[in-house]
Amino acid sequence: MLLLTALSCKKVVSKDGIEGTWELRHLAGGQVPGLDPNFKKGNGNKYKFEGQTYTRYEKGEITESGTFTLEKADVAINASKANARIRFSPSEDEYYINLSGNKLTIFIGIIAADGVETTYKRE
């Protein structure tokens, strides 16, 4: 009984906030010297979230799709803070994110340890 109570208290973030299409606008960490870290509108690098499914695009081509889950989190990462953790399936990738209005930041590791921080804008 105690185990069921603990499992039912898992804090889940509303998927309504992430619903929609997000296009890459900025990349921090992992850059090639001389390469602009800013991406213009129409670059084709996107995430599309619908219900419990996602589709990832690179240069307009689908590179991955499946389901995802969100959980609340409060984690300091780089010079920012994550407010949720996202888990993608079937890839089993798990990242921290900051979702705020029309801005989605995905923290792929820590920049100081060769991680990447990608920032998307809602279309």
Tens digit of each residue's pLDDT (9 = 90 or more) over 24-83: 999 998 766 778 899 999 999 999 999 999 999 999 999 999 999 999 999 999 989 999
For 4, the token pair is 């069921």
Domain residue ranges of the chain, discontinuous segments joined by +: 20-122
Q: Give CA–CA dist 39/52, Å, rounded.
A: 27
Tens digit of each residue's pLDDT (9 = 90 or more) over 82-120: 999 999 999 999 999 999 999 999 999 888 788 899 999
pLDDT of residue 110: 84
